[in-house]
Amino acid sequence: MKGRRRQGIIRKVLIPVVIFLVIAGSGGAHGADAEGKGDSGDAYRVGINDVIDIRVIDHPDLRTVAPVSSDGTITFPYLGSVYVKGLSLSEIREEITKKLAEGYVKYPVVTVLLAKSMSRKIYTYGQLSKRGEIMYEEDMTLLKALSLAGGVTPEGLFGKVVIRRREKESHRYKKVLETYLDNGMLRSRKIEDTLLEPDDILIVERNKTILIQGEVMKRGRFPLERGMTVLSALLQAGGANDNGKYGKIKLRRKWRGKKGGGYRDVVEARLNEGVIESGKVEETLLRADDILVVERNRTFLVEGEVMKRGRFPLEEGMTVLRALLSVGGVKDSGRYGKIRVRRKEEGRTGGYRDLVEARLNEGAIESREVEDMVLEPDDILIVEGNEKFYIYGEVNKKGEFDLKKDMTVFRAITIAGGFTKWGSESRVSILRANREGSGFERIRVDIGKVIKGDATADISLQPGDTIIVSTGIF
């Protein structure tokens, strides 16, 4: 009897101590599991779909691993439905302990663990493959959350990432982080490792963009990349096409003046073979909504007796000679003609005037001044056909001939194969239009004197002259 009494006394003393130690120890375990920071179990409030693990010491049959149902309850042996939604782990433990002690278990020692948190979530929005809810995990970083959301869509690769967090004791949210993506990548390891909290809202905003127009390979809207310059944007668009390689590049930017919004030109530069001629313009940093425009080549027009006619890009420092060479030079029908440059007259719409001209000799421009003249946009370069002279009468080849440089009557007769046996050296004449254009004058030439060495007897021909060689019979 004395032994039984001693055992009862020991039980009355030890059980409360064990209960105290278990409760004290389990509270720390619950808090660590719930928050991952070693806080008390009161820091975490159980929600719907959370799974909790309830154990009663010395009563393995009462162990219950139960999800929180949609009505906020769990089912527990003997007790039936127990409302746990919104309670802390320690509050659930106290509730189960109290109900069991009401007649089901004497001195119940209860532990409550958070087996799985299904109610803690973060919310994703914006340019992510998965928008909506993501289950929160312990030590969830920003990088992990972006991965669980399926990554960033193309429309957000250079967008802004924002984390918004609920303020304590309030339904309001505040911004706790803001950063930009660089082709879908976060800018630093420190930002990647930013820890999220339950109920955080993760937002990826759409890329800021620029617009590229005009004579480029790819027109349209492009994402504004970090540190994007005029040059890098032009390369992104594939560079200038053939119609813009000698044009102009301009940067237009939103401007808010006294009269409201609009755009204004910020910088511009010429292109030469598609290369921007200003380093300053190349390195200009772009801003959101900037417009980059590549204008069509400035051009000049080539007409007449050349290998290629048409409109051509006006390269920087393009001279008359360079222009002539760029179109393949002069045809045979223009090698002894004339070259002219026509230019728009200022103050007159569509009016042109002859600016310079020079003779061609074997296709070469006879004036250095004309060769080196720099063309301007919309100039017209004209190569006229060869000037002609005509020869009839007693020569072996009659007809029309090109009037070459320094052509004289004697040289012309030589080109025509010389006199026939009836041709007279002393009966040669030139029919030349008079200055008034109302008729012709006849100029006598004695080729016999020329043959004898009198160079002064020979006469230089002019365009349109007609040489007549008469017979020696009177």
Residue 25: predicted pLDDT: 40
The count of structural domains within the chain is: 5
In a domain, 223, yes or no: no
52 and 90 together in one domain? yes
- Does residue 314 sit in the same domain as residue 347? yes
Q: Is there a single domain that holds both residue 125 and residue 163?
A: yes
Residues 449, 428 share a domain: yes
Return d(Cα 381, Cα 321) in angstroms, integer: 10
Alpha-carbon distances, residue 212 vs 232, 271, 288, 290 (angstroms)? 12, 16, 12, 9
281 and 320 in a single domain? The answer is no
pLDDT tens string, the chain, 474 residues long: the values are 444 444 444 444 444 444 443 443 443 333 333 333 333 446 688 988 899 999 999 999 999 999 999 999 999 999 999 999 989 999 999 999 999 999 889 899 999 998 888 888 899 999 999 999 998 887 899 999 999 999 999 999 999 999 999 988 788 999 999 999 999 999 899 999 999 998 999 999 999 999 999 999 999 999 999 899 999 999 999 999 999 999 999 999 998 765 666 899 999 999 999 999 999 999 999 999 999 999 999 999 999 999 999 999 998 889 999 999 999 999 999 999 999 999 998 765 668 999 999 999 999 999 999 999 999 999 999 999 999 999 999 999 999 999 998 999 999 999 999 999 999 999 999 999 988 778 889 999 999 999 999 999 999 999 999 999 999 754
pLDDT at 347: 67
Q: Flag whether 221 is in a domain.
A: no
Judge whether 224 lies within some domain.
no
Contacting residues for 65 by C-beta, under 8 A, at least 6 apart: 51, 52, 53, 54, 115
Torsion of CA 31, 34, 38, 40, to 10 degrees: -30
Q: Tell me whether residue 330 is in a domain.
A: yes
Structural domain that includes position 419: 388-471
CATH code at position 378: 3.10.560.10
Are residues 373 and 397 part of one domain? no
What pLDDT, on the 0 to 100 scale, is given for residue 12?
44
Question: How far apart, in whole angstroms, are the C-alpha atoms of residue 340 and residue 469?
Answer: 35
Q: Return the pLDDT at 33.
A: 38
Query: Kind of pairing, strands 291-294 and 209-214?
Result: parallel
- Amino acid in the structure at residue 182: D
Half-sphere exposure of 384 (CA within 13 A, CB side): 16
Q: What is the pLDDT of residue 39?
A: 37
Please indicate, yes or no, if residue 209 is contained in any of the structural domains. no
Residue 293: its pLDDT value, please?
A: 97
pLDDT for the residue numbered 345: 84
> Same domain for 21 and 81?
yes
Structural domain contains residue 212? no
pLDDT score, position 469? 96
Cβ atoms < 10 Å from Cβ of 422: 12
174 forms bridges with which residues in the sheet? 165
